[in-house]
Amino acid sequence: MSWEWDVIWQYLPRLLEGAWLTLELVLVSGLIGIALAIPLALMRASSHLWVKAFPFIYIYFFRGTPLLVQIFLVYYGASQFEAVRESMLWPVLKQPYWCAIIAFSLNTAAYSAELFRSAIQAIPSGEIEAAEAMGMSKPVQIRRIIMPRAFGIALPAYGNEVILMLKGSALASTITLLDLTGMARTIIARTYTPLEMFLAAGMVYLAISALVIALFRFMEYRFNRYQYYHHTDTPTDLDPQLRDPHIDN
Amino acid sequence: MDLQGFGHLLISGTWITIQLALSSLLVGLVIGLLGASAKLSKNRLARWLGTGYTTLVRGLPELLLVLTIYFGGSQLLMWIAGFFGYDEYIEIGPFVAGVAALSIAFGAYATEVFRMAMMEIPKGQWESGLACGMSPLRTFFRIILPQVWRLAIPGLGNLFQVLLKDTALVSVVGLNDIMRQSQVAISATKEPFTFFLVAALIYLLLTAATTGFTMFMERMANPAARGHNS
């Protein structure tokens, strides 16, 4: 088997260009996805049947069908309707870049909404009751107690979702975008070195996911600091006047 | 919805998708069991290989795996076959490439599920099996595996749903699955939205059926709970 290292080095800058687009896709659709997921999760956690129904169907559809179908539905599907082709949205919907962003955002919104919902329901009910007892209105509770707490609880699981999104972003190459996978495929069409190029692309993906994992570890450490707090015992010879009755027994 | 006579094409695609998913599941389960045994083994090299496999594959996009195996697999296989003195051309079709890629991806996640389940089994189960005079292999198949299976089914069910959705990726290398057949229908009818929506609904039906089947399997694997409820 002939193995050509120089091809990898020669085309590495092009691959990194593709990696940049991959990162951009993940970041932009991740942010839009969160913005969509929060109202969906709040609706899903509601106790009214009609409020729950829409997010339930939405989440069921996007989690039960392949991402590839969703991308094709947006990219190819939208052009079936004359009304869409003549509307103001068409300049956006005919670009593969925006179609990928739309499909990824809708997809990740469904998965994150489910994560946020379970996080919201995992908040100890005593904390909600305490907020209630303090006289906070529902919107204030959501803003001050529910959202920050749910964020901390959902953080590790959301890190996994970002990794899945990173892997899913490779599908952008199926609608002609030159992301990391798309770039590798283009280079291979020219040089015919599939193993070398896909290996190099794979290494870049691994590096990105290692970075994402490290970033989320760090964030989790920051936001859930209370879990990492170690109480140091108060010295026994401490002046009794300085003792804190809430900490020491 | 008017399918304009392309219904049978979609049904044949669905059948291919089901075959692909089930074959990958079977191979993937074997890989997962081997991977979990490797990760829990006393042998350092086996542990190292198992960890390397799961970290590597779980960080790679499934599409990249499919493409690598389809376009690079024959080159790799011919290189390996060369050591055994076999110099003919080896071709890998889309179905085989799909099964290979999907089962490698499924196996990596299944390794973790099986490993978690195996760690749940108390050590005493092993010891009592051996004390009864069973060989380690027989203890594994008679005592450990049925219990591991029960603990692993919910996790494996989720993984199978992911696998089922990932089968769509194999259409990119030309397998005549649901996606590919919808594209064929679209090129004739020029109705992309209709046919991709139908494809989506077929996938939804398949994943719903999987959920039902997983629940059934959970019940089957847990005779104790079954007896208690009825």
Domains within chain A, CATH numbers bracketed: 5-123+134-227 (1.10.3720.10)
Q: Say what the pLDDT of residue A235 is.
A: 73
Looking at the complex, report in whole angstroms how far the Cα of residue B59 sits from the nearest Cα belonging to chain A. Answer: 5
Interface of A with B (CB under 8 A): 1, 60-61, 64-70, 72-73, 76-81, 163, 166-171, 173-174, 181, 184-185, 188, 194-195, 198-199, 201-202, 205-206, 209-210
Degrees, nearest 5: CA angle B173-B164-B96: 40
Question: pLDDT-derived band of residue B50, with 50, 70 and 90 as boundaries?
Answer: very high
pTM listed for this prediction: 0.88
Tell me if A80 and B59 make a contact (CB, 8 A cut-off). no
Which residues does chain B have within 8 Å of residue A107's beta carbon, measured at their own beta carbons? none
pLDDT at residue A236 tops 60: yes
Q: Is residue B18 part of a domain?
A: yes
Tell me if A181 and B171 make a contact (CB, 8 A cut-off). no
Mean pLDDT confidence for A31-59: 91
Mean pLDDT confidence for A47-76: 93
Angstrom distances, CA of residue B97 to CA of A203, B29, B74: 21, 17, 10
Mean pLDDT confidence for A186-194: 91
Crossing angle, helix B192-220 and helix B145-166, to 10 degrees? Answer: 180
Q: Is residue B213 part of a domain?
A: yes
Mean pLDDT confidence for A182-210: 93
Tell me if A66 and B165 make a contact (CB, 8 A cut-off). yes
**DSSP class of A178:** -
What is the rounded CA–CA span in Å between residue B125 and residue B136? 11
Spatial contact of B70 and A175, defined as CB atoms under 8 Å apart: no
Chain A interface includes B112 (CB < 8 A) = no
Q: pLDDT higher for A96 or B5?
A: A96
Looking at the complex, report in whole angstroms how far the Cα of residue A78 sits from the nearest Cα belonging to chain B. Answer: 7
Q: pLDDT higher for A189 or B224?
A: A189
Q: Is residue B86 part of a domain?
A: yes
Q: Which two tokens stand for residue B39?
A: 């990760």
Q: Say what the pLDDT of residue A227 is.
A: 79
Mean pLDDT confidence for B190-203: 94
Q: Say what the pLDDT of residue A85 is.
A: 83
Q: Say what the pLDDT of residue A248 is.
A: 58
Task: Closest CB to B196: pick one of A77, A166, A167.
Answer: A77
Which residues does chain A have within 8 Å of residue B169's beta carbon, measured at their own beta carbons? 66, 68, 171
- Measured between CA atoms, the residue of chain B closest to residue A84 is B193
Q: Which domain holds residue B203?
A: 13-229
pLDDT at residue A249 tops 70: no
Mean pLDDT confidence for B25-36: 96
Q: Which amino acid, A95?
A: Q
Which residues does chain A have within 8 Å of residue B162's beta carbon, measured at their own beta carbons? none
**DSSP class of A232:** P
Q: Is residue B168 part of a domain?
A: yes
Q: Is residue B1 part of a domain?
A: no
Degrees, nearest 5: CA angle A131-A134-A137: 65
Tell me if A170 and B207 make a contact (CB, 8 A cut-off). no
Tell me if B196 and A69 make a contact (CB, 8 A cut-off). yes
Which residues does chain A have within 8 Å of residue B67's beta carbon, measured at their own beta carbons? 181, 185, 194, 198
What is the domain-level CATH number for residue B52? 1.10.3720.10
Tell me if B200 and A185 make a contact (CB, 8 A cut-off). no
pLDDT at residue B80 tops 60: yes
What DSSP line would sit under B29-69, residue for residue? HHHHHHHHHHHTSS-HHHHHHHHHHHHHHHTS-HHHHHHHH
Which residues does chain B have within 8 Å of residue A22's beta carbon, measured at their own beta carbons? none
Burial bucket for residue A110 (CB in 10 Å: 0-12, 13-18, 19+):
buried
- Looking at chain A, the whole-number percentage of residues with pLDDT higher than 90 is 63
Count of CB pairs separated by less than 8 Å, A with B: 116
Angstrom distances, CA of residue B22 to CA of A4, A65, A68, B28, B30: 37, 17, 20, 10, 13
Q: Say what the pLDDT of residue A4 is.
A: 83
Tell me if A80 and B78 make a contact (CB, 8 A cut-off). no
Across all residues in chain B, what is the average pLDDT?
A: 91
Spatial contact of B12 and B181, defined as CB atoms under 8 Å apart: yes
Q: How many domains does chain B have?
A: 1
Chain mean position to CA A151: 13
Q: Write out pLDDT tens, residues A71-126.
A: 999 999 988 888 888 888 888 888 999 999 999 999 999 999 999 999 988 899 99
Tell me if A198 and B204 make a contact (CB, 8 A cut-off). no
Spatial contact of A8 and A194, defined as CB atoms under 8 Å apart: no
Q: Is residue B7 part of a domain?
A: no
Tell me if A69 and B59 make a contact (CB, 8 A cut-off). no
Across all residues in chain A, what is the average pLDDT?
A: 90
CA torsion, ordered B20, B25, B26, B31, to nearest 10 deg: 120
Q: Is residue B2 part of a domain?
A: no
Measured from the Cβ of residue B63, the count of other Cβ atoms closer than 10 Å reads: 27
Measured from the Cβ of residue A163, the count of other Cβ atoms closer than 10 Å reads: 18
Which residues does chain A have within 8 Å of residue B82's beta carbon, measured at their own beta carbons? 1
- Looking at chain B, the whole-number percentage of residues with pLDDT higher than 90 is 72
Tell me if A80 and B72 make a contact (CB, 8 A cut-off). no
Mean pLDDT confidence for B117-130: 92
